[in-house]
Amino acid sequence: MKPKSATKKAARLLKKVRASAVVLAATAMMAVPAYAADGVQGSKIVTGTEKLIGDVTTWLMVLAPVVAGLLIIYFFIRRSAADEMDTKKWNNRIVVAIVSCIGAVLGSATLNLIIGYYK
């Protein structure tokens, strides 16, 4: 009896594969190709996105040092009121704030430079 059930399963699987192939072929024949009229570069979405990224990166280059400076001042104040154990944590937070500021400014400047080539 086992050979018959395996044969039936194989026949069912073959029917499913054939049906899937027919559906795929019919879908491919009915699909309408889409063509861009003037290209993507002139679309409002692309030009607007380029302007948005340029503005955001410019603001980030200005705001990152200001926010980092305020955080560093706050961390220095908290460090002065901390005991020896907490002083190490505040020192680490100051270093992280400085490195994060440098990373944010460099990242936004790099992105602004890259976007500048597409204008």
Q: What does the alpha-carbon distance between residue 14 and residue 42 come to, in Å, rounded to a whole number?
A: 49
101 and 60 in one domain? yes
Say yes or no: 55 and 28 in one domain.
Answer: no
What pLDDT is attached to residue 74? 94
Tell me which residue has tokens 């990373």. Answer: 103
Q: Are residues 56 and 104 in the same domain?
A: yes
Which structural domain, as residue segments, surrounds residue 97? 38-119
The count of domains in the chain is 2
Query: Is 43 found in the same domain as 19?
Result: no
Same-domain check for residues 15 and 61? no
> In terms of domains, do 19 and 70 share one?
no
Q: Please, are residues 72 and 94 in contact by the beta-carbon 8 Å criterion?
A: yes
Tell which residue, 62, 60, 91, has the closest CA to residue 75: 91
Q: What is the pLDDT of residue 37?
A: 57
Residues 48 and 65 in one domain: yes
The pTM score is 0.58
> Which pLDDT score is estimated for 70?
95
pLDDT tens string, the chain, 119 residues long: the values are 455 677 888 888 888 888 888 888 888 787 777 665 566 666 788 788 888 888 888 898 899 999 999 999 999 999 999 888 899 999 999 999 999 999 999 999 898 888 887 76
Residues 75/97, Cβ–Cβ less than 8 Å: yes
Residue 79 contacts residue 87 (beta carbons within 8 Å): yes
**Are 98 and 111 part of one and the same domain?**
yes
User: Residue 9: what pLDDT?
Assistant: 81
Q: Dihedral sign, CA of 38, 41, 44, 46?
A: positive
What gap in Å lies between CA 29 and CA 33, rounded to an integer? 10
Same domain, 19 and 61: no
Tell me which DSSP letter residue 82 carries: S
pLDDT for the residue numbered 77: 93
Residue 40: the pLDDT is: 64
Q: Clarify whether residues 13 and 43 are in a common domain.
A: no
